Amino acid sequence: MFATPASPLKSRSASDSCLSRLSEAASPASKPPASSYAVCAARRQRLEKELSEVGVRILHGARAEAYREAEGALLLRGAGMVPVGACVWTLGLRPNPLVLQLGLPVESNGKLQIDAHYHVKGSGNIYAIGDCAHVFDPATGKPDGMTCKEAIPQAARLTKILKAELAGEKGPAHTSYTNLFCIGLGPDRGFIWIQKWGMNIVLTGKLGRQIRKLTWDIASLMSRKVTDQLHPEAGQKQA
């Protein structure tokens, strides 16, 4: 899937991720219940409509053959040449291959094997979170994605785990983050998709933009809080 905006959008990677997630959920190959298929397809179409209204052209199933920078064009299989001002690759994510050189147990996807309290399996007092760890919800088996909205709560939870274990107690186990995508579509528009309480909730327009800004503000505050907990001297210097 390629998105070619007529004007710059700061959240293209987020929209790509959300569209991909919706496309996977709405794919017949995943064989979801009919009602789930219809809901995901409707949300995907709604997001595509919002992107189209701000000048984004979406091409599904178009594989890149070549990027010709001198000509300002991208060659797509089955779609020909597409004029572009800049080419931004969003090919997905994978853990750093250096993880394989640590001599620690890894999953088939190259991520470190950990338990519900972030201990690397069979390694004693080594902990792992983030993109290079196979973080999962012990209640559902659902793995975390490789996003900041999931990594920040992991870091906050790890501080509680460390404090508890240093005191000889057991810290909290990992829990999954709510499925939530916040996409900015310019200064006055946003697109929010939330899966909660068995419902799909979509918010657009100015309200969507305001909620997107709020989530980023909260993430920034959480990031600083975690830093202050791990390095209190840094927070004192800033104050």
d(CA 105, CA 107): 7
Query: Which tops the pLDDT comparison, 230 or 93?
Result: 93
Report field, pTM of the whole predicted structure over 0.75: no
Report which DSSP code applies to 140: T
The residue with tokens 């984004």 is: 56
d(CA 187, CA 208): 11
CA 51 to chain centre: 19
Partners of 196 in beta bridges:
199
85 Cβ neighbours under 8 A, 6+ residues apart: 72
40-87 per-position pLDDT tens digit: 677 778 888 888 888 888 888 888 889 998 899 999 887 788 898 888
Mean pLDDT of the chain: 77
Query: Which tops the pLDDT comparison, 193 or 30?
Result: 193
Query: Which tops the pLDDT comparison, 32 or 125?
Result: 125
**pLDDT given for residue 235 in this prediction:** 53
Structure tokens at 193: 């998709």
Structure tokens at 239: 């104050």
Q: Give me the domains of the chain, ranges plus CATH numbers.
A: 2-86+178-215 (no CATH), 97-177 (3.50.50.60)
